[in-house]
Chain A
Amino acid sequence: MANLREREDHRELNIGIGGDLNIDNLADDKSKLNFDTGKDRGSTVLGKEEQLRDKDMGPKAGSSIHRSLSRPQLDLSGAAIQGNFEEKDPAILLPNQSDDISHLALDIGGSLIKLVYFSRHENQPVNDRRRKIIKARLGITNFNRRSFPILGGRLHFVKFETAKINECLDFIYSKQLHRGGMDSRSWQTEGPNTESTVIKATGGGAYKFADLFKDKLGISIEKEDEMNCLVSGANYLLKAIRHEAFTHMEGRKEFVQLDSNDLYPYLLVNIGSGVSIIKVDGEGVFERVSGTNVGGGTYWGLGKLLTKCKSFDELLELSQRGDNRTIDMLVGDIYGGMDYSKIGLSASTIASSFGKAISENKEIDDYRPEDISLSLLRMISYNIGQISYLNALRFGLKRIFFGGFFIRGHAYTMDTISFAVHFWSKGQAQAMFLRHEGFLGALGAFLSYEKHGLDDLLVHQFVERFPMGAPYIGGNVHGPPLGDLNEKISWMEKFVLKGTEITAPVPMLSPGTTGLGGFEVPSSRGDSLRPDASKLNVGVLHLIPSLEVFPLLADPKTYEPNTIDLSDHGELEYWFKVLSEHMPDLVDKAVASEGGTDDAKRRGDAFARAFSAHLARLMEEPSAYGKLGLAHLLELREECLREFHFHDAYRSIKQRENEASLAVLQDLLMELDSMDEESRLLTLIEGVLAANIFDWGSRACVDLYHKGTIIEIYRMSRDKMQRPWRVDDFDIFKERMFGSAEKKPHKYKRALLFVDNSGADIVLGMLPLARELLRRGTEVVLVGNSLPALNDVTAMELPEIVAEAAKHCDILRAAAEAGGLLVDAMINVQDSPRESSLSVPLMVVENGCGSPCIDLRQVSSELAAAAKDADLIVLEGMGRALHTNYNATFKCDALKVAMVKNQRLAAKLINGNIYDSVCRFEAATSPSPSLSFS
């Protein structure tokens, strides 16, 4: 009687493979479908546009001496190198960068298509004269020290529903990705491509849809092994993206800094429709050791049958309001509310998932879909965690990385998985999640191209940006891209119509109302929701091969740029408030900087909405964009401005203040020259502090401006600089400079001055200090921003300012000439710079960033080169010396000078008050490379 009627499938084994999970229908709302197209973000990080815009506008007021781009003494690269990528310069482009190389790879899963594509920096018309200079500079400098040149550009991550594969095809066609990308024109000049393009693809659909791609796009799909792709994608992300992996326990996300030399072995668990469990031992060395058929497809499939949800995300969202205790049989239900503590089971432990449904006379409609969804989610997540742990245990692996689109940054899911791993391993193993969780396969397929040029890229050469739409694309599926700025603005306008419902946090159940599918109650709650229920945002990866780690960092591995930890929610709220309050003023300035036209106003509105949306997103999920520090927040604002084509909101203010300050510079220099050396040094530092008050980034200072002229405020501030300052290492610095009874004076060989604001700050503060160092025989390198940020002075503006200042001062002029800053108008670019001057040079380099702060792990190659011989660093201003780098240690002497223009920061950082001064001097942590001579 115990016969079997259905036996045909007995021998099949139920193991999951990484098909992918179905997704939502939010894609129906086309208004939300957007992402960075890569072509409306012309700004490269390294200031190309600055040059161009500058060019378009003609010579700036007050610049009587043309600045030069030539700083040959440094043997450095110029910003122009960046701008040159588009010019098909053979020295930079991949030698084989031609039609046969694709910039697109696909991972076609059971329910989602993941697409990774590469775009270069936008091709822009390049001025002939500039090109000439660049070419000449290239001839002189020997920038390209790499054995193999790398292409700079952006890596985009996009996904589509497999069911809507036509959208994907349209997308590829519209962006011409199958022909090598939008900017293919510039490198296809050698001959039109008529050959069939070969695109790498993985996932089951690579087989299933091969014919479709051939028919519609003429693309030949080259199938890549799925596991191989998953592993190489994961390996790459873990090595290349600084904060790719994070843990998630009890609602707390913590990014993990992995040592790429100590990455292997690990267990990779890819949760798609099914689950694959892979032991990874090295690059290309791996084994699929297990899997389970109970995966994302099970959650969504069963969930759909049980709840009638229309989308995966809807189901996921339901779970956030669920209480699984109505359906799950808990230990307490069996034991009458008691624990079975003898074996470590608490009353809230789930004894049997869905076990309560057996004993009650309820039908499916009698249960809340929310509760069903949560029970299901717990059951599946916990099960995956448990099976993963058991497999990790088999091989003695401590690290388990979970990827795949099932997770979606969903707090409950991650908490449940983490809990399972933590519980069963008794804390020995760690569950980690990946920000690019869903794109492992697609990225792996991309990397399977023989010459993708990404091999050599290192973690410091990636910058992730979140263009508008990024807050809303996390778990969502894209439709057509936002084509241009105009579309983006329209989208923002539509967005704001429904803005309240999109951005307003949804009140949730209080935490702890749900028993975990493990052993305790998770504290994760869905504090708020995006419509797509995703907690992760994947930005656009900018690959900037020229970025380098600042070589003078004492310990790059432990270096953390941010002084302020925004994981403290109070801190986060404060800075969000500051930024929000500052916004109307910023928008006014931005609009004015573009002539106050209707178009500028429209863009200004769009910017305000976009940035507010970013803030709202980060407010509800601080780590949505990765690890969040104040520097990131400030940079995000600048990026957002640039996204809406406000390239320099403070342009006119900066010019006005530069002019006003330059006008009084001569008086100041005379005053200084009348002093003896020691009091002059003190006055100079006081001056730097005093001039640092001119800061449009500080609300308090903006209010001051209306009360007097620049020189008045400057003198008044300087006079008020009563020592001792709140942090006062001046005497140590002075002794280092001038020596003492016991010590010989120290002569610095080269000083790097990281400058802050335009106007008085640079002209009356830092330039006189630079002059003093030059006078003492120290080479000075002014380090300015690559792109504008607030009223910070940029590297592009510095030569002009120096040139103007040189009119009043022979020391500066000689040094500027020696540094090549003044030669442009006088000599032909082919000439090598004159070495006639006896002065040590004054030079200008860009720092590689466009933010008021600086992350010294990612600086321009010219700054890195300039740092080689430097033995003194001066960091000036709040952004670079306090918000970031206050605790940074260097291989050489470092002076951090800033006036604190924020009460909260003053209280927190130095236990002081607003307008307190910081003069922090730290001797080299290891012997200085410089020579000391008296």
Chain B
Amino acid sequence: MESVGTEAANMGEREFKSCDRDDVSHLSLDIGGSLIKMVYFSSGSSSPSDDQKDSYLNDGTNTSIGTSNYNGLREKLHFLKFETSKIDECIKFISSKHLRYYGSLNPGGQDNKNLASEDNIIKATGGGAFKFADLFKEKLGIVLDKVDEMSCLVAGANFLLKAVNHEAFTYMDGRKDYVQINHKDLYPYLLVNVGSGVSMIKVDGDNEFERVSGTSVGGGTFWGLGRLLTKCQSFDELLELSRQGNNRVIDMLVGDIYGGTDYSKIGLTSTTIASSFGRAISANKELDDYRPEDVARSLLRMISNNIGQIAYLNALRFGLKRIIFGGFFIRGHAYTMDTISVAVDFWSKGEAKALFLRHEGFLGALGAFMNYEKNGFTDITHQFMEQSCEIAQDLVCKDEDL
């Protein structure tokens, strides 16, 4: 797949050609604080390789899930994202797609005859669905039908966990293990959506859930603080930096306090971080004296560990063994997942497990998409459900590309 981060600078101005022959319908949006996530459905003949052209934010997270319907057309769910600050790109994209069918009152979805022009409605969730409602109306004549964020996240996660066989995986010590979850034994679980902030939702059933906690220390914090500290231009650049860093330069370790010895009585080894960024206090160094890589590394560990810890504590409250992490903060980033996993494993003494999702960032958008279902558009999910094996194989192939 694409190399990470390098093409980020190209995102800016791009000509949107309406070259796709796809019929695009049922588009949904999740407009978050920093990213806009889009899911849309297409049926057409374009090949998967063509889809790659539509990949904005080329960080490997823009994907599509394909299936074939009985007409022999290749039908796909496309997953795209844009930066919220560059919402114009998103609007241009939608406009370029000549999105003709806006979903509702369009049972079946494949039927091209119903042109419900008065129903220029897109399902949308996330705070931006409120904030940018006027903008969509003005630029595209589209009405955003706001869907509750939490229910979207849950619906999206439930869909993925049920419909896509190898959606969830554990990540420990660099080892990724897909987890086969029995549909009947899915609930309850804790869904942790790490976006700009973090929401923690206890999911008890298809539409049964409760937001039980959250924290403001999330992806936005990593990116925001990281930008201030390293002058990185993008989230992915920052993540990349962190891979090359060494947190020991800045973090105060137990050994720093105990003169190199452990505080083993309470299970703290000398390399345990006693205080994130704690070393910066005593050294006569300024920000510029630290390598951005090390700063990014410390920051990532601090935030990942914190999320893992709070998630575990909440899982504990409700006796949940499964904690599923989603949201764009994670981005399949190995170190992030590792840190979160270690935190959950440590605090739960191995009792609880951290699971990650391949479509981590699109839960909300997918959930909004699922919301069409309520308006009679049910087939897609069923199709995907039925053909989940095929999809899974598809995904596994892609995974090997990584």
Contact = CB atoms under 8 A, between A and B. Distances in A.
A302 B277 contact: yes
B175 to A, nearest CB: 11
Contacts of B342: 10-11, 13
Interface stretch (B9-17, B115-123, B180-188, B240-248): B240-248
Interface in A5-62: 5-7, 9-17, 19, 21-22
Interface in A516-564: 517
Given A6-B243, A11-B342, A343 B211 contact: yes
Contacts of B84: 359
A305 B258 CA distance: 24
Contacts of B39: none
5 contacts: A14-B305, A17-B274, A204-B259, A293-B251, A354-B220
B173 to A, nearest CB: 7
B273 A14 contact: yes
Interface in B271-315: 271-282, 286-287, 290, 295, 297, 301-302, 305-306, 309-310, 313-314
B228 interface: yes
A292 to B, nearest CB: 7
Contacts of A489: none
Contacts of B218: 352-353, 355
A578 interface: no
B317 A393 contact: yes
Interface of B: 1, 3-4, 32-34, 83-85, 126-128, 130-133, 148-150, 173-174, 176, 195-197, 211, 213, 215-221, 223-225, 227-229, 231, 235, 243-248, 250-252, 254, 256-259, 261, 263, 265-266, 268-269, 271-282, 286-287, 290, 295, 297, 301-302, 305-306, 309-310, 313-314, 316-317, 332-335, 338-339, 342-343, 346-347, 402
Given A12-B271, A364-B229, A352 B276 contact: no
A358 B216 contact: no
B315 to A, nearest CB: 10
Interface of A: 1-7, 9-17, 19, 21-22, 109-111, 163, 203-205, 207-208, 225-227, 272-274, 288, 290, 292-298, 300-302, 304-306, 308, 312, 327-329, 331, 333-338, 340, 342-343, 349-359, 363-364, 367, 372, 379, 382-383, 386-387, 390-391, 393-394, 424, 517
A11 B279 CA distance: 20
B316 A394 contact: yes
Q: Would you list the 4 A-B pairs with minimal beta carbon distance, nearest first?
A: A334-B127, A355-B220, A297-B278, A352-B220
Nearest to A1: B402
A160 B339 CA distance: 36
A294 B306 contact: yes
Nearest to B266: A288
A329 B126 CA distance: 14
B115 to A, nearest CB: 31
B274 A357 contact: no
Given A13-B305, A204-B259, A274 B224 contact: no
B138 to A, nearest CB: 14
B265 to A, nearest CB: 7
Contacts of A393: 313, 317
Contact of A273 (B131, B248, B252, B290): B252
Contacts of B128: 334, 336
A695 to B, nearest CB: 55
A17 B277 contact: no
Contacts of B217: 294, 353, 379, 383
Contacts of B259: 204-205, 207-208
Contact of B252 (A6, A274, A333): A274
Given A300-B281, A340-B149, A308 B126 contact: no
A382 B216 contact: yes
B330 to A, nearest CB: 12
B12 to A, nearest CB: 13
A11 B211 CA distance: 30
A13 B343 contact: yes
Contacts of A372: 228
A109 B263 CA distance: 14
Q: Which of B197, B286, B313, B402 has the most CB of A within 10 A?
A: B197
Given A110-B275, A394-B317, A4 B402 contact: no
Contacts of A367: 228
Contacts of A6: 243-246, 297, 335
A383 B334 contact: no
A335 B131 CA distance: 5
A813 to B, nearest CB: 71
Contacts of A294: 217, 276, 302, 306
A331 B338 CA distance: 29
Contacts of B302: 14, 293-294, 298
Contact of A301 (B83, B85, B279): B279
A298 B347 contact: no
A291 to B, nearest CB: 9
A84 to B, nearest CB: 44
